[in-house]
Amino acid sequence: MHDVTDAELGQRLDNFLLKILKNVPRTRIYRIIRKGEVRINKKRCKPEYKLKLGDQIRVPPIRNDHDPDQPVVISNTWLEQIQSSILFENKNLIVIDKPSGLAVHSGSGVDYGVIDIMRKLRPDCDIELVHRLDRDTSGCLLLAKNRQALLALQKCVMDDSLNKVYLAIVKGRWPENKVDIKHSLKKMTMSNGERRVFVDDGGQTALTRILHNQPGSHFSLLTIQLLTGRTHQIRVHCQAEGHEIAGDNKYGDRNFNREMKKLGIKRLMLHASRLELPKTDFNDEIVVNAIPSKLFTINA
């Protein structure tokens, strides 16, 4: 039995379990939540439940196939690459330019991610993710170096005062008059632990704004502002408009992806190009830019 403390207040249940059950596969953690083997105050809870002070969490005994005392070996190549990808750092936070193909955390067959690498690089800090990027999305990723900064920055995420701008290459000619996308989104956890998002009138309000559109006959280059921060928001909004993002293996168009591969595009063409942080007790107002790869400068 575990009693929630001040340090864990506000954490999602799934993130709490991922942290304390470091060697347990992500799919298995979602399975024990779904089956009701994890109880909070003797009741079932969903993965997105936010922990409250004094909550009592019962976690069933889980046999690990990995030796918990055996540290994960992180290659020097990744350590050097992430160290060199730091765009901004002060005593409370770090912004990195996350490469495409690197997960933000371990799980589902992934031995380590950005959070594990950063904890290795900054062993004296309590490194935590402020927000997430999909494994194949590149660009600005914000991490906190202590619990107090984490809570302050997460508040900025919750009230949408943390401004995030993305670049995306999408299928077809994006309509010049299509600026705001307002489909409500509903997140579901599938039986295998995979998270998927669907357009649903009963879901959460979601607003995506197109700041700039470079249209082409076969594909378009968009500059996109997230006015809300829902999971997979840009990817699902583009899919709902019939203009799937190139290289998207979850919400994309297979035929379009095959055509784009012929042009050398073999990754998800979504890049977090700009991050604007409001002033908090832990930082001044900050604007950070991540230069995209040359793939995003192609003539659409």
What single DSSP character describes residue 148? H
Residues near 42 by beta carbon (within 8 Å), at least 6 away in sequence: 56, 58
**Number of independent structural domains in the chain:** 3
> 101 lies in a domain?
yes
Instruction: Based on the fold, state whether residues 84 and 138 are members of the same structural domain.
Output: yes
Instruction: Based on the fold, state whether residues 293 and 166 are members of the same structural domain.
Output: yes
> 192 lies in a domain?
yes
Instruction: Based on the fold, state whether residues 144 and 239 are members of the same structural domain.
Output: no
Cβ atoms of 204 and 185 within 8 Å: the answer is yes
3-state secondary structure 181-214: ECCCEEEEECCCCCEEEEECCCCECCCEEEEEEE
Q: Beta 270-277 vs 138-144: how paired, if at all?
A: parallel
- Which tokens go with 63? 């046999």
**Cβ atoms within 10 A of the Cβ of 45, count?**
18
Whole-number pLDDT of residue 19: 81
Whole-number pLDDT of residue 70: 55
Q: What is the CATH number of the domain that holds 147?
A: 3.30.2350.10
Using CB atoms within 10 A of its CB, is residue 287 exposed (0-12), middle (13-18) or buried (19+)? exposed
Whole-number pLDDT of residue 28: 82
Instruction: Based on the fold, state whether residues 190 and 285 are members of the same structural domain.
Output: yes
Instruction: Based on the fold, state whether residues 20 and 106 are members of the same structural domain.
Output: no
Please state the separation of Cα 114 from the chain's center in Å. 11
Instruction: Based on the fold, state whether residues 266 and 139 are members of the same structural domain.
Output: no
> 64 lies in a domain?
no
> 69 lies in a domain?
no
Domain span holding position 36: 2-58
> 71 lies in a domain?
no
The span from the CA of 172 to the CA of 243, in Å, is 6
- Domain stop point among 58, 87, 103: 58
Instruction: Based on the fold, state whether residues 191 and 271 are members of the same structural domain.
Output: yes
Is 134 among the catalytic positions? yes
> 67 lies in a domain?
no
The HSE-up count of residue 20 (CA atoms within 13 Å, CB side) is: 16
Instruction: Based on the fold, state whether residues 191 and 281 are members of the same structural domain.
Output: yes
Whole-number pLDDT of residue 109: 62
Instruction: Based on the fold, state whether residues 170 and 273 are members of the same structural domain.
Output: yes
Task: Tell which residue, 280, 286, 271, has the closest CA to residue 163.
Answer: 286
Residues near 232 by beta carbon (within 8 Å), at least 6 away in sequence: 134, 185, 195, 196, 197, 250, 251
The span from the CA of 94 to the CA of 198, in Å, is 32
Instruction: Based on the fold, state whether residues 250 and 288 are members of the same structural domain.
Output: yes
Q: For 196, phi and psi rounded to 5 degrees?
A: -130, 155
**SS3 call for 284:** coil
**Mean of per-residue pLDDT scores for the chain:** 89
Instruction: Based on the fold, state whether residues 188 and 167 are members of the same structural domain.
Output: yes
Whole-number pLDDT of residue 142: 97
End-to-end CA distance of the chain: 56
Using CB atoms within 10 A of its CB, is residue 257 exposed (0-12), middle (13-18) or buried (19+)? buried
Using CB atoms within 10 A of its CB, is residue 284 exposed (0-12), middle (13-18) or buried (19+)? exposed
Q: What is the CATH number of the domain that holds 42?
A: 3.10.290.10
Instruction: Based on the fold, state whether residues 28 and 145 are members of the same structural domain.
Output: no
- Domain stop point among 142, 157, 172: 157
> 281 lies in a domain?
yes
- Which tokens go with 138? 């590149």
User: Which parts of the chain sit beneath pLDDT 70?
Assistant: 63-71, 107-109, 192-193, 297-300
- Domain stop point among 100, 134, 157: 157
- Which tokens go with 209? 């704004």
Exactly one of 14, 116, 134, 248 is catalytic; which is it? Answer: 134
What single DSSP character describes residue 228? S
> 66 lies in a domain?
no
Cβ atoms of 150 and 128 within 8 Å: the answer is yes
